[in-house]
């Protein structure tokens, strides 16, 4: 049940971020949920590998390159999910920032007790 709640919260964050950004489009809630699941899977599998491979660049840029990796993950999700489109790199970058803030707020409001430790 908790997994379903997390998917719904992530889908709401995807829809809210897409609503705020003109370069991101989501057809409906189903595609937002699918995009949320793809983002979670891509971030759990591919992102750690990219972080390790680009660690020297990330250190040199004092962590700013990590935002580039996030944007690339969003662009990959936009390429995989048919009803979720990303118009460009800067739209993906802004989406990742806004999505993270909205997801944090939704997790704090509606999330489980495990997320409210702070």
pLDDT beyond 60 at 118:
no
Task: Specify the 3-state DSSP secondary structure of 79.
Answer: helix
pLDDT beyond 80 at 111:
no
Query: What are 26-80's pLDDT values in tens digits?
Result: 999 999 999 999 999 998 999 899 999 999 999 999 999 999 999 999 999 999 9
Report the alpha-carbon distance of residue 6 to residue 39 in Å, rounded. Answer: 12
How many Cβ atoms sit within 10 Å of the Cβ of residue 112?
11
How many Cβ atoms sit within 10 Å of the Cβ of residue 116?
10
Report the alpha-carbon distance of residue 90 to residue 92 in Å, rounded. Answer: 5
Q: Between 3 and 52, where is the model more confident?
A: 52
Domain ranges of the chain: 2-116
């Amino acid at each position: 049940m908790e997994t379903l709640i997390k998917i719904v919260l992530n889908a709401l964050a995807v829809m809210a971020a897409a609503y705020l950004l003109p370069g991101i489009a989501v057809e409906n809630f189903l595609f937002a949920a699918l995009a949320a699941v793809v983002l979670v899977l891509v971030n759990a599998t591919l992102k750690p590998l990219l972080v390790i491979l680009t660690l020297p660049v990330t250190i040199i840029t004092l962590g700013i390159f990590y935002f580039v990796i996030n944007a690339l993950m969003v662009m990959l999700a936009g390429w995989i999910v048919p009803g979720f489109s990303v118009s460009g790199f800067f739209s993906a970058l802004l989406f990742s920032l806004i999505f993270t803030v909205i997801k944090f707020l939704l997790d704090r409001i509606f999330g489980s007790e495990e997320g409210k430790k702070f």
